Amino acid sequence: MRRLLLVPALALVLLGTPVLALQAPEPPPTTTTTIPLGPEPPETTPETPPETTSDTSAPDETTPSTAAEAPVAPDATVTPGWESEATPVDATLVGVTWEGDPAAEFVVEVQSTDGSWSENHLEAADTGADAGTPDAARAEGFPENATEPLWVGGDASAVRVTLEQGVASDVEVAAVDSEPAPAPDGAAGAIAGTLGTVDGVGRWIFGAALLVAVVALVALAIGWRPLRGRRGARLLALAVGSLLLAACVPVTPPPPPPPPAGSGEYPPRPGMVGRATWGARPFACAGGPEYAPKLKFAVVHHTVNSNSYGPGDSSAIVRGIQNYHLDALGYCDIAYQFLVDRYGTIFVGRAGGAKQPVIGGHAGGFNTGSVGVALIGDYSVVQPPGEQWNSLVKLLRWRLSIAKINPSAGFTQTVGSSPCGCMHWAPGTVVSFGNAIVNHRDLNSTACPGNTFAPRLGELRNAVQPGIRFPQ
């Protein structure tokens, strides 16, 4: 009977070794395709043969010909009510670019692979580069305007675009294909894909627990008796059970508690997914990222694109947003310095260092001296989940503390110039705020970070402030 213990030992090896051995698989390449959109072709009726007459005179040249009903060129100016034809795409994230009215609004219908269509209202993107930055210089070669990107999730097979408001020309769809990283191949890979892979210090803990559990089970199977009696057997069963649990269910240790009040120590850095891990593209502008003299305040955003995504989609969404910012907006990199998904995972965004005052492209006229933190989701009508809120609080506590910013002391900023023209004040105006955590809408003409989340800014400040710690 004791040899039956070899069965769970073998099961631990089969289940645990793939998880320990396999690294997280590389994500597939993320691609962007720009497709000009033509209008919906006019409806046609079956032609009827003309009546036979003896009239051989030339046709009246003043009579409109059928050529007048042909679709206009994709770069023609279109007005509200214009609708494109259904355009095939292969994408997980889509957006619309155009020339002309920056306030134009579009409805984008997306066809999924099962043939069904869904309708989505898209407004102009509310990010904005500052004049004179590499982002603004690179963006000059790209379309003047773009909508916010829409995360489709499963591959879209076609899109249809309707202009709802404004006048536009050169309307194009930017189709980004950003797939989640696949599970490793094979049966072992499927197990690892289910249980997850283990990285960092947790990898060593997991490996040690697995080894001890397997060795103990094998030793017991071949006759080892470390303890005799019923009490000893119970203790041994409890120890082996604990090892089994530790080996089969790797658990990320909780972050250390914040330092006691008045200690002067920095709060702990929350766990983050680095650029290499989520599959970031390199910074696209010569000279690398630019830096402000110092960080002065934080700006909270939401990405608008979707609330219905799984934890395995988050990295793909971040890659998709980066591609859209690079290939549709023309920026040097993703506009935000950090992004937080609905499960509480924090992603390092723009290149340049998580601790550095990197100049982003998230708030026109206010990028220098600010850190842009974007919640992945649309919080116009719903609240962010608790995990996302908690991670936002921890991130702001850490980032403002290491910059030695007391949020309640406020800040003063000179408004910069931006091609977006979206600032509430003219460039050169000196504005003051009573707190160093602000909504994007406080700075620019936008609804970001959503009508439901924005009123909670005071609550967010109150949650962040007690955790601010830095040496005096």
C-alpha to C-alpha distance for 405 and 401, rounded to whole angstroms? 6
Give the pLDDT score at 260. 43
- What residue has token string 């850190």? 371
Question: Residue ranges of the domains in the chain?
Answer: 2-26+183-248, 275-467
Residues 6+ apart with CB under 8 A from 454: 439, 441, 447
Signed CA dihedral, 342, 330, 29, 250: sign only:
negative
Give the pLDDT score at 196. 47
Going by their DSSP bridges, the two strands 370-375 and 338-340 should be labelled as parallel
* Fold that domain 275-467 belongs to in CATH: Lysozyme-like (3.40.80)
**List of E strands, 329-443:** 338-340, 346-348, 370-375, 411-414, 430-433, 437-439
Give the pLDDT score at 28. 78
Give the pLDDT score at 229. 58
Q: How many Cβ atoms are within 10 Å of 136's Cβ, its own excluded?
A: 22
- What residue has token string 């116009």? 380
Q: What is the 3-state secondary structure (H, E, C) of 25-74?
A: CCCCCCEEEEEECCECCCCCCCCCCCCCCCCCCCCCCCCCCHHHHCCCCC
Contact 399, 456 (CB under 8 A): no
User: What is each CA distance from 31 to 163, 293, 430, in whole angstroms?
Assistant: 26, 35, 41
Give the pLDDT score at 256. 43
Signed CA dihedral, 406, 372, 419, 423: sign only:
negative
Residues 6+ apart with CB under 8 A from 204: none
- pLDDT tens, per residue, the chain with 472 residues: 556 655 666 665 555 555 555 555 677 789 999 999 866 554 444 444 444 333 433 434 343 333 333 455 556 899 999 999 999 998 999 999 999 999 899 999 999 888 889 999 998 898 999 999 999 999 999 999 999 999 988 778 899 999 999 999 999 999 999 988 765 554 444 444 444 444 444 555 656 666 666 666 666 666 666 655 566 656 666 666 665 565 555 444 444 444 444 456 899 999 999 999 999 999 999 999 999 999 999 999 999 988 989 999 999 999 999 999 999 999 999 999 999 999 999 999 999 999 999 999 999 999 999 999 999 999 999 999 999 999 999 999 999 999 999 999 999 999 999 999 999 999 999 999 999 999 999 999 999 999 999 999 999 999 999 999 998 7
Q: Is the overall model pTM greater than 0.85, yes or no?
A: no
User: What is each CA distance from 157 to 152, 175, 450, in whole angstroms?
Assistant: 10, 10, 29
Give the pLDDT score at 226. 61
Cα R_g (the chain), whole angstroms: 29
C-alpha to C-alpha distance for 180 and 154, rounded to whole angstroms? 10
Q: Which helix (H) or strand (E) holds 397?
A: helix 386-402
Give the pLDDT score at 471. 86
